[in-house]
Each structure stands twice: as C-alpha cells, then as structure tokens.
C-alpha cells in the first residue's frame, strides 16, 4: 500500500515554475528521501504535502486521504520532524510532553503513563520541571 501518492503536482510563485509535474509514491515501510540544491523546491513540496500550501494543480494523498479534501484525516497520519528543535522552549520538559501528547490524542491516565515512560527512556525524570 502507498502511504504517500504525489500526482502531477505543479506550483508557481508569481510566474516562476518551482514544481514541474512532480510524481512519486512511497510505500508502507519504505524510507524515501529527496534531495536537491538550494531552491530546488523541496520545502515547497513538503509544505504542499502537509497541507500548508496549495498546489496549482495535481493531488496529494496521505494514507489514502486527499490532503486538501480530508486534511484532518490525512494530517493524523503525518509525523513531521523539522530541522529546528521541535520543542516549546518556554515550557518545561513535563509540559512539553503534555502538550505534544495531547496533540496525538492522549489524555488522562494514558497520557501520564506515556510521559513517565518517555522521561524514563530519555533519563530526564529528574529534570522534568526544567525548561
Ligand atoms: N513564498 C514564496 N514566494 C515566492 N517564491 C518562493 C516562496 N517560497 C519559495 N519560493 C521560491 O521557490 C523556489 C523553491 O524554494 P524552496 O524553499 O522550496 O527550495 P528548497 O529546495 O527547500 O531549498 P533549500 O535547500 O534552500 O531549503 C526558490 O526559488 C524560492 O526562492
Ligand atoms: Mg528548504
């Protein structure tokens, strides 16, 4: 099964053609990387795939859901790890875990258990109240 399907995606900024009819599929269990020089359009494509930008034409399916037609369902299937540190620096470790756990739909006892587990794995139990 393909978890990502990119079909005929085209994007222009003003008159500049940035993505020219991009097509690919990524199957479940596959590790797929795309590389290219600065300005090649990698970030533009990632933004389109995650529903942050709309393509001029073409479609994207994530886990079988069209990112534009069923964005919530498609986005539930996406885990995005940006280049920058993906933490709220003004919050302590515990609150960060509560926040990100909640984004993934965890709450109550399960959220608490998972936070304890993660603090243990990372050796941060003693530092959970530190930023
Ligand atoms: N919002 C925007 N408005 C106008 N042009 C843009 C916009 N975003 C990106 N571009 C242009 O689109 C092209 C592709 O940019 P993009 O950021 O997708 O490239 P990239 O492959 O991620 O580059 P890098 O390796 O530097 O991160 C570049 O020419 C860039 O200047
Ligand atoms: Mg980029």
Q: Is 39 in the pocket of ligand 1 (CB under 6 A)?
A: yes
Cβ–ligand 1 distance for 44 under 6 Å, the answer: yes
Distance separating the N- and C-terminal Cα atoms of the chain: 41
Residue 24: half-sphere exposure toward Cβ, Cα within 13 Å: 11
What is the C-alpha to C-alpha distance for residues 90 and 80, in angstroms, rounded to an integer?
21
Nearest ligand, measured from the Cα of 47: 1
Helix (H, G, I), strand (E, B) or coil at 31: coil
Cα–Cα distance between 128 and 116 in angstroms, integer?
10
Question: To the nearest whole number, what is the mean pLDDT of the chain?
Answer: 94
Instruction: Kindly report the protein residue whose alpha carbon is nearest to atom 26 of ligand 1.
Output: 38
Q: Does the structure show a pLDDT above 90 at 15?
A: yes
Kindly give the residue spans of alpha helices, DSSP state H, lying in the chain: 42-49, 71-75, 93-103, 108-121
pTM of the complete model: 0.80
Q: What is the pLDDT of residue 83?
A: 75
| Per-residue pLDDT at 1 exceeds 90 | no
Distance CA 71, CA 76 (A): 9
List pLDDT tens digits, range 37-54.
999 999 999 999 999 999
Nearest-atom number in ligand 1 for the CA of 42 is 21
């Amino acid at each position: 099964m393909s978890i990502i399907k990119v079909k005929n995606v085209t994007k222009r900024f003003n008159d500049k053609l940035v993505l020219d009819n991009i097509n690919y599929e990524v199957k479940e269990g596959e590790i797929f990387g795309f590389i290219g020089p600065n300005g090649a359009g990698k970030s533009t494509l990632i933004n389109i795939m995650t529903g942050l930008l709309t393509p001029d034409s073409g479609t994207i399916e994530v886990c079988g859901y069209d990112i534009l037609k069923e964005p919530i369902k498609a986005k539930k299937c996406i885990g995005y790890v940006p280049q920058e540190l993906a933490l709220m620096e003004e919050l302590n470790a515990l609150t960060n875990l509560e926040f990100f756990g909640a984004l993934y739909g965890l709450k109550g006892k399960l959220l608490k258990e998972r936070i304890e587990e993660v603090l243990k794995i990372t050796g941060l139990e003693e530092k959970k109240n530190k930023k």
